[in-house]
Amino acid sequence: MSDAFHVYDTTLRDGAQREGISYSVADKLAVARLLDGLGVGFIEGGWPGAMPKDTEFFARAAAGELTLRHARLVAFGATRKAGLTAEQDPQVRALLDAQTPVVTLVAKSDRRHIERALRTDVAENCAMVADTVRFLRGEGRRVFVDAEHFFDGYAFDPDTALRVLDAAVTAGADVAVLCDTNGGMLPLGIAEVVAQVGERTGFRLGIHCQDDTGCAVANSVSAVQAGATHVQCTANGYGERTGNADLFAVVGNLATKLDMPVLPALGDLTRVSHALAEIANLAPDTHQPYVGSSAFAHKAGLHASAIKVDPELYNHMDPEVVGNVQRVLVTEMAGRASVELKGAELGLALGAEAVAQVVGTVKEREAHGWSFEAADASLELLMRGALGEESPVPFALESYRVIIERRGGEEVTAEATVKLQVGDERLIATREGNGPVNALDAALRAALEPGCPWLGGVELSDYKVRILTPGGSAGTHAVTRVLVETSDKLGEWTTVGVHPNVVEASWLAMVDALAYAALHSRG
């Protein structure tokens, strides 16, 4: 994408402020890869020096763990402290050490914050901004400046707010980003201020909105209509308090309402939105604009036939543009076309009958909480079953038993026993583990490994649990969905299991994982 318009993502920094989100470094790398795949221009990775995990993220990215095709990586941080030079300030050094091509500095632009929170005066605040920008420019960095609390500050004392922008841009900052940090603005007011500031300064302006009035998306889009050419968002609107402007809604609006195709991979919005929710371990918002599973769902009733004939009369846009689908009945996403496509991808020649059977099974299972979107290996096994292939599971289960015990202040123990039939042989093994699933995995391997030496190279590399349909009168009665990621030297694959009992759900996913390994002769 050209530099004329910036889609700037801050999921990894501002988005991570959302109550309940706690990204690991591996999560952060995965998030960055997905955002890069969408084609965002800038990915703000965190605040090196202030947050140890962010420092590690930048180190691992620089060491080669993150190869970006579209996006440039951004380190976020504060200007130099009062009384230090930029070069001396360890936080500024940490920004350099992050080795990103771009640095975004946060600068106070509301006089009340300068005086009451920073306890300094406007002149020193501007010097801190200018010095830091100049130093980083001298070190070859491109610099953006987030003018914190800009709209409140501009309403209270416009001169101070504009002086801060001027200090930043004169020192070499590329974009002055106007931030509605407390999120109290409305779109007509945002548009008016952005247009005014643009006219008074001539600077390249960006916009950063929080959703406290429920208007972050609208405010961001209004700012663009008023002249901003850099928009800061977070995936799914994650962020502190009520959140930030949702990347997917902002981009969807710019592309489909204002004819600004600012992202190359618009058709991936829905998939990436859901994958990012998965990594954040949050349920996707089914009612989210553009990407929610209900976003184009019509309760059939009166208009069903009209919707069928003239869908464009009842949708504000074609859902396929953002990789979403219209749903008229209460059915899940699987359609014939996507199953055919998937089969072809896996090299399976599914006939019409097998496709129908797979669609039926997927719909039925998804109604019970299964999800094959992130579990390709389970889907492949299901497709092979529909083709009449024999099950590749290398055993028949007679029984398993898991016992978890705790005595007073003592250790908690978990012990599992499996009894299997493999060919003519009956195998029994008992093993202990850290928890029930770990013990069961260990017992299963102990029983199988003598006959399947290849199993030694196959390991469970990630394990995710989601409780579905919570919020009822008895949370522990909810269904549990387990996703298991398994890997060997050749690659990794994901399988799924669903059951009210977390141990059985895990068992189902583990058995699929072994079946997939056996199928692909990973030995």
**158 or 289: CB nearest its own copies:** 289
| Near its own copies by CB under 8 A: residue from 10, 55, 109, 222 | 222
Closest CA to 375 of 188, 516, 164: 516
Contact present, 172 and 133 (Cβ < 8 Å): yes
Q: Are strands 425-433 and 412-422 parallel, antiparallel or unpaired?
A: antiparallel
| Near its own copies by CB under 8 A: residue from 34, 38, 73, 221 | 221
Stretch that binds its own copies, among 130-138, 196-204, 348-356, 467-475 (CB under 8 A): 467-475
Q: Which of residues 268-287 bind its own copies (CB under 8 A)?
A: 281-283, 286-287
- Does 90 bind its own copies (CB under 8 A)? Our answer is no
* Residue 419 token pair: 């009894």
Site map for its own copies, 323-342, x if CB under 8 A?
A: ------xx-xx---------
The structure tokens 């060997």 sit at: 488
Find the shortest distance in angstroms from Cβ 465 to its own copies: 4
**212 or 340: CB nearest its own copies:** 212
d(CA 272, CA 31): 9
**87 or 332: CB nearest its own copies:** 332
- Does 484 bind its own copies (CB under 8 A)? Our answer is yes
Stretch that binds its own copies, among 36-44, 194-202, 381-389, 430-438 (CB under 8 A): 430-438
**69 or 407: CB nearest its own copies:** 407
Q: Which of residues 182-211 bind its own copies (CB under 8 A)?
A: 182-184, 186-188, 191, 211
**142 or 210: CB nearest its own copies:** 210
d(CA 71, CA 32): 9
Angle at 232 between CA 227 and CA 234, to 5 degrees: 145
Closest CA to 168 of 199, 192, 132: 132
* Residue 275 token pair: 């994958």
Query: How many amino acids of this chain bind its own copies (CB under 8 A)?
Result: 127
- Does 217 bind its own copies (CB under 8 A)? Our answer is yes
DSSP-derived 3-state class of residue 469: coil
Angle at 290 between CA 179 and CA 10, to 5 degrees: 30
- Does 318 bind its own copies (CB under 8 A)? Our answer is no
**22 or 101: CB nearest its own copies:** 22
Find the shortest distance in angstroms from Cβ 281 to its own copies: 5
| Near its own copies by CB under 8 A: residue from 4, 476, 489, 491 | 476
d(CA 6, CA 40): 8
- Does 49 bind its own copies (CB under 8 A)? Our answer is no
- Does 117 bind its own copies (CB under 8 A)? Our answer is yes
Q: Which of residues 225-244 bind its own copies (CB under 8 A)?
A: 225, 240-243
The beta strands (E) that lie in 410-488 are given as: 412-422, 425-433, 459-468, 479-488
- Does 428 bind its own copies (CB under 8 A)? Our answer is no
Q: Which of residues 355-414 bind its own copies (CB under 8 A)?
A: 371, 373-374, 396-408, 412, 414
Q: What is the SS3 assignment for 133-193?
A: HHHHHHCCCEEEEEEECHHHHHHHCHHHHHHHHHHHHHCCCCEEEEEECCCCCCHHHHHHH
d(CA 416, CA 419): 10
d(CA 469, CA 472): 7
| Near its own copies by CB under 8 A: residue from 474, 489, 491, 521 | 474
Q: Are strands 205-209 and 42-46 parallel, antiparallel or unpaired?
A: unpaired
d(CA 333, CA 316): 20
d(CA 230, CA 208): 9
Largest CA distance in the chain: 86
| Near its own copies by CB under 8 A: residue from 82, 123, 344, 465 | 465
**108 or 163: CB nearest its own copies:** 108
- Does 449 bind its own copies (CB under 8 A)? Our answer is no
Amino acid making up residue 43: I
- Does 85 bind its own copies (CB under 8 A)? Our answer is no
**105 or 221: CB nearest its own copies:** 221
The dihedral through the CA atoms of 392, 333, 18, 466 has a sign that is negative
d(CA 22, CA 41): 24
Stretch that binds its own copies, among 1-9, 194-202, 450-458, 494-502 (CB under 8 A): 494-502
Query: How many residues belong to the chain?
Result: 523
**287 or 336: CB nearest its own copies:** 287
